[in-house]
Structure 1
Amino acid sequence: MRTPVVMIIGLVLAPCGFLLSLIATFSPDWRELRSVSGAPVDEIIQQGIWDVCIASDISSSITCGQSDTTYFSQQVITVARGLMLTSLLVMAGGIVMASLGVRCWQENPNWLIAGLSGILIFISGVLSLIPVAYYTNLLSNITTTFTAGKFQVGYSIVIGYISSCFELIGGAFLILCLFHLCKRRNEKQANSFYNKYYRESSPKSRIRTIDVPDMTWEHRRSPSFGIEDFSQPPNRQTPREFVSTDFTRNEPCDADL
């Protein structure tokens, strides 16, 4: 049996979403601060949920490990950390369960396990979408020790949205396995009910029995009962011998010679 399309789409999008979500979680570019006071014009402050880095538009050098206690003490950062880590754990469990449910090395997949894995992957997408949307909504309101004149969304937010979409779509396709399983069970129950109803409702009069007479020697037709008695075999007349009665011709014939 070929792998169903819904399972193929789910198995392709789920690992892609997991990888992108992993990058979005640990990359230090959820927000970019530009025009920072007391800093060069080309300097950019990149803030993530785990680290803060200083980059430049001119050079490719990045200096991470900057301290910003005011930024990391915000509630949105704590919530984003917890939800993103939870999303990664749930996503990993969903991918493992999906691999066990599809089981490409066997003839038939397990629709139930594949559908349950879709639920986990879909929940993971929701868990990763909440902190990304929450952080984007409070982008310019998150306090920090740096004084900047311009706030921009970093590439981590964009990757987070893409990973959430992949997880939601992949989980939704795998959830369709549950609907397929329910459809098969309903068809099976309907067929069994129909067969049971047909067996119970069919009248016995539909089955016609025909009495076949016993054509043996014990029964023969008789004038009284219309049955013939075969207990005795019929009398057959033995052929009579031909005896010549012509005694007048005693002369030898040509055949006698």
Structure 2
Amino acid sequence: MRKSPGILLLGLVLTPCGWILDLTSTVAPNWRTVHNISGQPPELVLHQGIWDICRSYTESRDVLCNHEDKEYFDNQIIEIARRMMLSSLIVTVIGLAVVTIGTHCWTDKPRWSVAAFGGLFIFISGILAIVPVAWYHHIHTYINSPSSDIRVGYCIVLGYTGGIATILGGLVMFSAPCTCRCGFKRAGGGDPGLGASHHPHHHQHHPHEGEGHARSRASSMPYSVDSLGDDISFGRKIPFSGTRTL
């Protein structure tokens, strides 16, 4: 059983966080706020999103939504932002599902190509979220408004953050298979199913290995068994040459 690499876990954290931020940016009615509307109390603030418009007062916490503004919703950027943000959310979910199915570094045979394909899906979903947010941010002061006091809403910040997190998560998912492969090669010589301890030639037995060790031990002794027997021979007469004196 193999553990998932840290880079894969990083992608699995970044991608869901980015998805939640993009979802909040999509549904929350605060892509921009309009203040100091002529003919209205100065405390009135309009919170305009891509799906709804809400009204609130600075001195009260009451928020009234479902405010109709056909002129605002008829802008081209609103329809484009709706479609692209929804597409980003759907593609992110599909990418996470593909990565979950394909990248199993804890199994013997991970589907590396499937995992990389899921990471590519997540990367594209991040781009789909960044484009409408950046476009809206660029032209938010030019969209039809009842006042010239227009400010950027928190949904723009959430959209940027979520899109960047999703893009980074997609890149991490895309590179995680390469990281797993390199780890397997360092551990088992290139075969993901074999580690270093399972190398077929790692514990090869040599039949003459014991004999070689025995010879080396024998040669290191100062005397061999045969020479010792020649010197200490109790039943053999030692030849004598010379004169014996009493």
* Alignment TM-score > 0.5, same fold: yes
Runs of 4+ in 1 over 6 A off after TM superposition: 181-187
| Counterpart position of 1:130 | 131
Q: Is the 8 A contact 1:87 1:127 kept in 2?
A: yes
Does the CA-based 8 Å contact 1:31-1:48 persist in structure 2?
A: yes
**Is the CA contact 1:3–1:109 (under 8 Å) kept in the aligned structure 2?**
no
Counterpart code for 2:34: L
Structure of larger gyration radius: 1
Larger displacement relative to structure 2 (96-105 or 71-80) = 96-105
Letter in 2 for 1:161: Y
Matches within 5 A, 1:65-104: 65-103=66-104
The separation in 2 between residues aligned to 1:6 and 1:83, in whole angstroms, is 28
Number of equivalenced pairs:
188
Matches within 5 A, 1:1-257: 1-103=2-104, 106=107, 109-144=110-145, 147-180=146-179
User: Alpha-carbon deviations, 1:183-209, whole Å to 9, x = none?
Assistant: 69999xx98xxxxxxxxxxxxxxxxxx
**Letter matched to residue 69 of structure 2:** D
Which structure: greater helix fraction? 2
Distance apart, 1:182 and its partner CA: 7.6
Identical pairs, percent: 35
Q: Deviations over 1:223-247 (max 9, x none)?
A: xxxxxxxxxxxxxxxxxxxxxxxxx
State the TM-score, normalized to the length of structure 1.
0.67
Give RMSD over aligned pairs: 2.5
Contact 2:3 / 2:106 at 8 angstroms: preserved in 1? no
The residue aligned with 2:218 is: none
Structure 2 residue ranges without an equivalent (≥5): 191-246
Long gaps (5+) in structure 1: 192-257
Q: Report the Cα offset of residue 112 of structure 1.
A: 2.2
